Structure 1
Amino acid sequence: MKKTTLIIADDHPLLLSGTENFLKTRGYTILETATDGNTAYNNIINTQPDIAILDFDMPKLNGLEIAKLCQQHHIDTKIIILTLHKEEAIIKQIGVTIHGYILKDDTLQEIESCITQVIKGNIYKSKKLQEEIHLSDDTNTIKRLTPTELKILRYLAKDWSSSQIADHLFISKRTVEKHRSNVIHKLDIKSSQNALLLWVQKNPELFN
């Protein structure tokens, strides 16, 4: 059976080395490594690996920019993005220009599962990223919120902090946090307030 060929790029040498060594012990063929986006993209062009595992935030070109270039130039290499935090821009590209998205905290635990799924033609999202909010009817659910709760959600959609919202509405930060908790309860969200913010940002039309 042909071994899966990989390119790895990360501007943190220790993380790059750790990922490379781990994947080598698991039997993968590492064709090249890189610490910046330009080098990574050139490596992809020159070696045409099965998969490129790319840090999102790198000098010269970031992981998403490389993925879009690969798509534009019809390069078949599948792209897996690594990052420290949830990034809305990356989530929107899953299944479009990228095939996998893993948080760096979970890299060694999940990277094999991700590679396996991507090679099969599936997409893969880090388990923590799957803690998204699923509502049966978003519009009807929104109608359950009070005017104040809706107003706070609108500010959350603008990425305002609780302190900024409190100052703007002339209420205490504690009151804002209470409203946020009420929203999470009403929407039956079994996730974090960060997931609530992510959902708000993905559904701005519900707050117009």
Structure 2
Amino acid sequence: MGFLLGAFGKLAAGRRVRQLQAQMMRVQSRLRRATRDVSEMEKQLQRQEKAQLNAVTAQGMMAKQCALGQVLGGDQSAFQALQQTIASGGTLSAEDTQKYNNWSSMYTQGSTTIGAYNEQWISQMKQQISDNFEVLRETQLEPLKDEEEMLQTEKDSLESQIQIAQQDYEACKKMEQADAKNLAPNYTGQG
């Protein structure tokens, strides 16, 4: 009787091992895909965030340059002419020196104000971009990570089930082999 129980148990345990192994292969495939998707999504979000941060910085610098060009308004070209005169070693009249000093002071004040405003704007925009990408990570990346974690848990569970099924198979195999000895015919005639 133990022989039959062992044989049928071995068949059932073997079938269970094969089923679990097939299921494990499917889970491993899905897990690899999920891991790859998480990695690709993380890289894509990082690239997009970096590109947007760089674009904001570039926009801020261009806006600053444009604003600096407008500090003196229509006097900009006259100011530049006076700068060239000084650079070439020329001398300025008292009136031109007064204008130059006034424009220089206006330019310095304007430059400081524009620079501070520009830095504040860039900082706010970068924070907004970072916040937006954090929301994207939570809404798009977290579900992928959750799926990856769920598949890893399922894989771990299957590994333990396979191990148990293999132990059952071995136990049934030993039971079958042990009782097979009792089924051997006794040819000695001594009963």
Q: TM-score, normalised by structure 2?
A: 0.17
Higher radius of gyration, 1 or 2: 2
Decide which structure has greater strand share: 1
The structure where helix makes up a greater share of residues is: 2
